[in-house]
Each structure stands twice: as C-alpha cells, then as structure tokens.
C-alpha cells in the first residue's frame, strides 16, 4: 500500500482520527499492513508479544483456552485494537487470535505503540475506553455462563 493511501486509511480509524497528518505518516511509515486468510492464527496464547494490531477489515476471533474444541469468546471487527494487552503489561499473549474471514490488519511494533500512547492522550483515552468495554463484555460473558452453570445444577 502507498504511504498516502495508508495515511488516508489510518485517518478513518476512530482511535487515530484526532492525530495530525505528520503523526499518521509516522504510524504509516513504522507499521506494517498484513493479510490473513480465514482460519489463520495471528498469534497464540503464551507467545511473547512484540506488537499490537488495528483491524482494518474482516473479523478476528478471540479464542478461549478450554480443554476441548476451540471456543470463540469474542469477535473483533474493523477499527478494533487487538493484541494491545500483552504489549501494555509486557506479559505473554493472554489468548489465541484467529482470522474469521479475510482479515487486513495494521501491525504496530511495541515501542511505537507505547510511544503513541504516552505522546497522545486522546489515543490513550481511546485505548482505555476499548479495554474497559472489553472488560465489561468479558464480565457479562462470565455472568451468562454462571447462570447457565447454575441452571445445569453445576
């Protein structure tokens, strides 16, 4: 993808929409556009993390680590930030992520991502909003499962 084209695409991502053009160009220069086929793994739980991703198109599945078949715990669509948790905590990946369909992502290296957060409060707040929403969603999934377990007499 050409840099100018990538800058235009980045400007459409809500979490970057308030950044000026020079900052968008910097992200475009230092990031990498990647494509995944349906079923392809972006990263696996337990792996070390060296980058965060922004979903540009397609959907990515967050897989729960259960002792049986893969279970889709959540789905992240266009404009979602993924893989940011492990970069922020410097812990290994907490979940396996898999492309549900044709997926296009922007891969942002850990150093660039942390710099982006510390230098741009509006990006930082957006990341906190996304993390908070994911946490609320995870809590609701837990409560639903708890009700199901209770109903099954577990």
Question: Would you tell me which residues interact with a second copy (CB under 8 A)?
Answer: 64-68, 71, 73, 84-86, 88-89, 91, 94-95, 114, 117-119, 121-122, 124-125, 127-129, 131-136, 138-139, 141-143, 145-154
Neighbours of 127 (CB within 10 A): 19
Residues 69 and 65: their CA atoms lie apart, in Å, by 9
Between 4 and 70, name the residue whose CB sits nearer to a second copy: 70
Structure tokens at 29: 């220069």
Residues 84 and 106: their CA atoms lie apart, in Å, by 12
Closest contact distance (angstroms) between CB of 124 and a second copy is 5
Closest contact distance (angstroms) between CB of 29 and a second copy is 22
Closest contact distance (angstroms) between CB of 92 and a second copy is 10
Phi, psi of 78, deg, nearest 5: -55, 140
């Amino acid at each position: 993808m050409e840099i100018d084209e990538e800058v235009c695409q980045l400007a459409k991502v809500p979490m970057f929409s308030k950044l000026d053009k020079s900052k968008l160009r910097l992200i475009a220069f230092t990031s990498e556009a990647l494509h995944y086929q349906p079923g392809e793994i972006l990263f696996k739980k337990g792996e070390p993390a060296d980058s965060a991703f922004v979903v540009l198109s397609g959907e990515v599945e967050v897989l729960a680590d259960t002792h049986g078949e893969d279970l889709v715990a959540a789905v992240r669509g266009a404009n979602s930030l993924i893989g940011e948790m492990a970069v922020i905590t410097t812990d290994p990946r907490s979940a396996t992520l898999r492309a549900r369909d044709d997926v296009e992502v922007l891969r942002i290296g850990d150093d660039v991502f942390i710099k982006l957060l510390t230098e741009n409060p509006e990006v930082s707040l957006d990341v906190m909003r996304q993390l908070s929403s994911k946490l609320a969603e995870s809590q609701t999934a837990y409560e639903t499962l708890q009700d199901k377990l209770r109903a099954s007499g577990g």
